[in-house]
Each structure stands twice: as structure tokens, then as C-alpha cells.
Amino acid sequence: WPICPSRLRLRDPMSLVRLLPDTPKVLKLLQASLTYSLGLANRAQEAHWNVKGEEFGQLHDLFGGFYDFLASSSDMVAERIVQLDGVASANPTGSLLNGDPVVMLSTLQKMAENLGGHYITVVKATSNDPTTNNLVMGILQDLEKWIWKLQASHQGKQSLITALRGK
């Protein structure tokens, strides 16, 4: 490390990132790590959900703990990517979100609304299964609240940006 960060007086915090050698290479490696880690986390969660047999309790806890570790470490890697001025993506083909808060809010809102539409179909299909129907209705109720929060934040952000651009 050629520069002692404590001796720098940085006006732009990203200037330190620009001093780091090989940042593009590191970003690429971190993104690959994130993608792989998230894929592995999904598999660990599947194992957690589906394990059966005599060792259920031990394996259920093991897979759940492994998933928790992977989710936590993936979050740390994703935040480091952003700290290095990159865009962290949970999608192996690239991020659907470009760092613009309005795009992020509208994309997540649309995806949540699509998921809500799917859950409505599930609710209709499970009318003869009250346990599943109640479970999905509860999820749908919470999802509707999240959609409202995303929509309200999106509207507020658009109003703020419109006001700033009008000046």
C-alpha cells in the first residue's frame, strides 16, 4: 500500500478508490464472487427447505446457518463493490438497476407488482387449501405494503428531481 490513507486530506472520498491499483480487475473479481455466492446461497436455502430424514434437525440448522453466512457475506461484497465505484448485481447477466434512485424504485416497484399478480393467481388457485391460501394472503398483504412504500418513495423522488431540474 503505497499511500497512508490517514495522511490524505480528501475532498472527494472516491479519489482514494482511484488511487487503488487494479480497481477494474478487483471489481470484476468481486462481482464474480458475489454472483457465485448468491447462487450458492440460493442452493443452501433450497437444501434448508427440503432436507428430510433422520438427520433433519442437524442438517436443517447447518444449511440455514450456511445460508445466513452467505447472505451476510454477499451483502459485504456487494457494498464493497459500490464503495469501489462499481455497480453490484445479483443478476449474473448484469444489473437491472443503474444506480439511479428513480430507476431503482420504479424497477423494484414493477417487479413487486408482477410478483403480486402472481400471488393473486396463487390465492385463487388455493381456495380449497385454507392453510396455503392464508399463508399466501399474508405474504400478499405484506407485499402490498412494500409496493405502496416503493410507490410513495418513487413519487417523492420524482417530485424532488423535477423540482431540482426546474431550478
Q: What's the pTM value of the predicted model, to 2 decimals?
A: 0.66
Q: What pLDDT shows up at residue 159?
A: 55
pLDDT exceeds cutoff 50 at 3: no
Q: Return all residues near 67 (Cβ < 8 A) that are at least 6 apart.
A: 41, 44, 45, 48
Q: What is the mean pLDDT of residues 131-151?
A: 91
| Locus of grid cell 468481486 | 30
Measured CA to CA, the distance from residue 62 to residue 45 in angstroms comes to: 10
Q: What is the mean pLDDT of residues 122-143?
A: 91
The C-alpha R_g of the chain, in whole angstroms, comes to 21
What amino acid occupies position 106?
S
Q: What pLDDT shows up at residue 25?
A: 87
Q: pLDDT category, 162, cuts 50, 70, 90? A: low
| Locus of grid cell 431540482 | 164
